[in-house]
Amino acid sequence: MTISERGPSGVSRTPTPDELENMSREQLARLASELDDVEVIHNQRKFPIPGTRAERRAERSVALWFAVSAIAGLAFLGAFVFWPFDYRAPGEAGYEVYTLYTPVVGLTFGLSVLALGIGVVAYVKKFFPDEVSVQQRHDGASDEVSRRTVVAQLAQAGQDTTIGRRPLIVRSAGVAAGVFGLGLGIAAIAPLVRDPWKGGDDAALWTTGWRPVGGETVYLRRDTGIPDEISLVRPEDQDAGSMETVFPFRESERGDEEALFHGLRRADSPAMLIRLRPGTEVVHRDGQDGFHFGDFYAYSKVCTHLGCPASLYESQTQRILCPCHQSQFIATEYAKPVFGPAARPLPQLPITVNDEGYFVATGDYVEAVGPSFWELGS
């Protein structure tokens, strides 16, 4: 065997099976570098003398980040599972706590990921050896020798990073990663943990402010900018070919500022009342024949794509437009989508005119309002 066939590791560059079997992990790791034409120019451990105060300090600072990640992950889990998330209207008891649900869940989850990432980066910066290597490029699949040596090289690299003798970091990183993984797992099975359909037909996602309660009449009102100024809607108020935004109102709410404010601000309250031009041809959806009153049709204003207000009405084409992603719904065909990403018609509100000549809702929507994914549990 010539000299050139042996590398600095002292073994043949193409060892026999016996030689391979008897090589130490360090030899295999070095052989891996040689086989890959990698030349290590410089390799310097960060803490050549183990156990110094500086090393312990560095170790603690890394573990601290993993501990922060674990604590934030636990806080995320706690908030996700126990924080009240059921919808509360402005002014209702528990509204402030409800509005904090998303920020708290987002912040704790974000901090958990951030601290975990910083911990990993800090560990690499503080403990990985400084190394400069140069490798010649070569092509082709790896043979058995290469595969064995690469595994050894990785193990050797792990040893060089001194992770094996740093139980504090290993344990804290393990706890942080475990809690983080648990959080991801909980999020993946979220509907089993926090059931948004709790309550069956009365679940918050199925009902809106238009739902009749105790047989009380639900009127259509307009928003004048003053919550306790009640302006009910009558057919003669509206021109043919126009649209008006309407909200639910009950007589029992008169004088009750909170309830009136709630009726106007509740996310699923706004509906658009459209008056088609006389003689306009209309296609009704199965089961919704009686939902309109003459030329008047009422549809939810909440876009079925992602929930923006679909509030632009083009009277010439009778299209309702959502400005967010340009979905278009045709008012003469039960507001079915005809353009853009929305895949579901805008829910139609059943309306009529009462004996006093005011518009009233005869019931709640018969399908979920808003983005289609809300219906996936049905």
For 151-161, b/e burial (b = at least 16 CB within 10 A) is ebbeebeeeeb
Q: Token match 């990993």: residue? A: 120
Closest CA relative to residue 32, chosen from 119, 123, 118, 157: 157
- Helix residue spans in the chain (DSSP H): 17-22, 25-35, 53-82, 95-99, 101-127, 144-160, 167-188, 190-193, 257-265
Which residue ranges make up the site for ligand FES (CB under 6 A)? 303, 305-308, 310, 322, 324-325, 327, 340-342
Cβ 172 to ligand FES, closest distance in Å? Answer: 43
Q: In whole angstroms, what is the distance from residue 209 CA to residue 267 CA?
A: 9
Cβ 322 to ligand FES, closest distance in Å? Answer: 3
Neighbouring residues of 151: CB distance < 8 A, sequence distance ≥ 6: none
Cβ 378 to ligand FES, closest distance in Å? Answer: 21
Residue 1: what residue type?
Answer: M
Cβ 338 to ligand FES, closest distance in Å? Answer: 12
Closest CA relative to residue 116, chosen from 57, 169, 56: 169
Quote the distance between the C-alpha of residue 90 and its chain's center.
24
Cβ 304 to ligand FES, closest distance in Å? Answer: 8
| DSSP secondary structure code for residue 354 in this structure | -
**Token duo for residue 53:** 């105060």
Our CB check for ligand FES shows the closer of 218 and 321 to be: 321
Our CB check for ligand FES shows the closer of 75 and 342 to be: 342
Our CB check for ligand FES shows the closer of 269 and 327 to be: 327
Neighbouring residues of 187: CB distance < 8 A, sequence distance ≥ 6: 80
Our CB check for ligand FES shows the closer of 250 and 305 to be: 305
Our CB check for ligand FES shows the closer of 218 and 274 to be: 274
Q: In whole angstroms, what is the distance from residue 257 CA to residue 43 CA?
A: 73
Cβ 301 to ligand FES, closest distance in Å? Answer: 11
Neighbouring residues of 45: CB distance < 8 A, sequence distance ≥ 6: 129, 160, 162
Our CB check for ligand FES shows the closer of 114 and 308 to be: 308
Residue 202: what residue type?
Answer: D
67 forms beta bridges with: none
Our CB check for ligand FES shows the closer of 250 and 344 to be: 344
Q: How many other CB atoms are there within 10 angstroms of residue 24's CB atom?
A: 11
Q: In whole angstroms, what is the distance from residue 332 CA to residue 321 CA?
A: 14
Cβ 299 to ligand FES, closest distance in Å? Answer: 13
Cβ 324 to ligand FES, closest distance in Å? Answer: 4
Our CB check for ligand FES shows the closer of 254 and 325 to be: 325
Our CB check for ligand FES shows the closer of 222 and 305 to be: 305
Cβ 309 to ligand FES, closest distance in Å? Answer: 8
